[in-house]
Structure 1
Amino acid sequence: MGKLDTSHLRRKTNKFYRYMGSLTTPPCTEDVVWTVLARARSISKEQVEALRAPLASHSKTNARPLQPLNGRTVELYKVKNGHHRQH
């Protein structure tokens, strides 16, 4: 999929977490960069369906159990003046 430009999205938070992980549905591909906003957001049912649409029928839900960190680190970033810094 490549790099996702989120600069046009409205943000009411300036903090996010980032870590290396894997997909949560088969084939559970590794080397995925996860970015998680520090503030929870909600989306519509239609948006959820759009996210699920390209998944195989057996992967429509996130049924993978919580995985141990296995040495990975979760990093906190703060956005200031349009630039993010790691903390």
Structure 2
Amino acid sequence: MTSDHLNKEEQEILDAYDAGEFTSEMSSARKNFLERAAATTVERETEIQIRMSERDLSTLQRRALEAGIPYRIFVASILHKYASGSLYDATASA
């Protein structure tokens, strides 16, 4: 395989790879872990509808604007963090 966008060194590396000169030192357990992580990363998204007060929505929209991201992505991020255990209610008693 050749590419017009590669310099000589990059082309040599690509040719060596294509010839099978590189081998992975990754354990099969690590490879399986990374494959599972990649598969869960690209899971299909599902659309939901929720009801909330206008005040809460306005607050979320303002915070999303401060973060520089669309508010729907901001809300999805909050929900994902909570579902994955990295976000929790700091006011709840332990």
Q: Shorter-chain TM-score: which interval?
A: under 0.3
**Greater relative CO, 1 or 2 (CA 8 Å, sep 6+):** 1
Q: Name whichever structure is richer in helix by fraction.
A: 2
Q: Name whichever structure is richer in strand by fraction.
A: 1
**TM-score where L is the length of structure 1:** 0.22
**TM-score where L is the length of structure 2:** 0.21
Larger radius of gyration: 2
